Amino acid sequence: MYSSIMEASPLLKVSDMAENLVGSEIIKLAGEVKQKIAAGEKIYNYTIGDFDPEIFPIPKELTEEIIKAYQAGHTNYPAANGMEELRKSVSRYLHTRGGVEYNESQILISGGARPLIYAIYQTIIDEGDTVVFPTPSWNNNHYCHITGAKQVKIEGSPDNNFMPTAKDIKPYIAEAKIIALCSPLNPTGTTFSEKGLEEICDLILEENKKRGEQKKPVYLLFDQIYWQLTHSLTIHVDPVSLRPRMKNYTIYVDGISKAFAATGVRVGWAFGPQKVINKMRSICSHLGAWSPKAEQIACANYLMNDHAVDNYLVDIKSKINQRLNAFHEGFNNLKSLGYRVSAIAPQAAMYLTVKISIQGSTTPDGNKLTTAEAVTKYLLNDAKIALVPFYAFGASKKSSWYRLSVGTVKIEDIPGFFGNLRASLDRLT
């Protein structure tokens, strides 16, 4: 009886929004990879934007603080906008490390960055409002769908390291209510240049001057969750530091998930104009999207420990950088041997942007690789390599670009990865 009810459930009507939610391509791919691993295959699975805690554990001082906070009984509801000590600690962290000035009332804490992005969309967007975002980028299409926003996608180009430009955005600025940007960008691991971001800020300021105070301005959602993970000479730039007047329109998204490899700890923060932050607080509060109280207290104490934070960031960046450089070099070597692959020099985050231009080739069993999907499958089945194609981030299905995430990479696996890739490329005609 119970099972027949379960079987009938796909026919139940739900909202159009829920009915038409698109499943994540990354999760679909991850499912296929999981099956292969469960069947005993060795897969070089570099698909997930997460860290293997054995390679990238969270800071030990943070672990200790979390244990202490639970032992001290911090297990009841936290304040709706986040614990005051954490908001003060984040304010100091942003000031000392990012040079931006936000007081504790302008900061909202949540259970990671996701609820904050959702709350920004819900705070700004009325049905049919336009959101402009680059492709590839992470999940803006889903937040637009949930809030009924009109999506304007700006297709990135390797010439700009896939970062959108003011020129790309200009045709849509008059209709835009949110420009959703991310730097360092997931999936590319690339960043805005100072000039590139300044030009976008100027475009937004000019547009908002035209709109005046009666109309809803165009807001900038600026997701900088990877900003601490810059490599070599890359310097993170942000809108308000470049153009102080952007403070009226910029809502930042940030947190500990990536900088401290703490994706499962769930502490994120947004900061921006007071009114927007207050509305976001109400939305997050109705969702109950708080970060657990003990984690908040722990994070507040940890972020005050400058010595521990400094040491941790040096260590995580060097481990990520070592892996990104090894892959970058490996792809360059293959390229110099005439293989149709390349990679963009890593700038930030734990992602490498690689190009595998084998669409049109024929596999040993006579299949022509006509789409990026077919190439992804060939790499997985033949080379035992799992990468995320850029179409999973909204880019064209014809795109030959892939995200390689090093958060789960064991250094000793890298030669095997390239051995397999090379052998699979050799088998194509």
Query: Residues interacting with ligand PLP, by CB under 6 A?
Result: 49, 112-114, 138, 182, 186, 223, 225, 255, 257, 263, 268
Structure tokens at 142: 């889903």
Nearest-approach distance from CB 58 to ligand PLP, in angstroms: 13
Nearest-approach distance from CB 257 to ligand PLP, in angstroms: 3
User: Which DSSP category does 113 fall into?
Assistant: S
Residue 374: count other Cβ atoms within 10 Å of its Cβ: 16
Nearer CB in complex with ligand PLP: 112/330: 112
Nearest-approach distance from CB 317 to ligand PLP, in angstroms: 17
Nearer CB in complex with ligand PLP: 223/382: 223
Nearer CB in complex with ligand PLP: 395/414: 395
**Residue 44 φ/ψ, nearest 5 degrees:** -85, 90
User: Rounded CA gap, 378 and 173, in Å?
Assistant: 41
The residue number whose beta carbon is nearest to ligand PLP equals: 112
Nearer CB in complex with ligand PLP: 361/405: 405
Structure tokens at 298: 């722990």
Nearer CB in complex with ligand PLP: 182/326: 182
Nearer CB in complex with ligand PLP: 268/330: 268
Nearest-approach distance from CB 269 to ligand PLP, in angstroms: 10
H runs (alpha helix) in 41-193: 60-71, 84-93, 114-124, 140-147, 166-169
Counting beta carbons within 10 angstroms of the beta carbon of residue 245, is it exposed (0 to 12), middle (13 to 18) or buried (19 or more)? Answer: middle
Helix (H, G, I), strand (E, B) or coil at 67: helix
The angle subtended at Cα 219 by Cα 217 and Cα 221, nearest 5°, is 170
Nearer CB in complex with ligand PLP: 267/294: 267
Give the alpha-carbon dihedral of 262, 80, 239, 223, to 10 degrees. Answer: 40
For residue 185, give Cα distances in angstroms to 125, 143, 162, 177, 382.
Answer: 23, 17, 9, 21, 30
Nearest-approach distance from CB 292 to ligand PLP, in angstroms: 13
For residue 8, give Cα distances in angstroms to 19, 21, 93, 102.
Answer: 16, 20, 52, 52
Nearest-approach distance from CB 382 to ligand PLP, in angstroms: 28
Nearest-approach distance from CB 68 to ligand PLP, in angstroms: 23
Nearer CB in complex with ligand PLP: 97/340: 97
User: Rounded CA gap, 22 and 291, in Å?
Assistant: 27
Structure tokens at 307: 């010595």
Nearest-approach distance from CB 259 to ligand PLP, in angstroms: 10
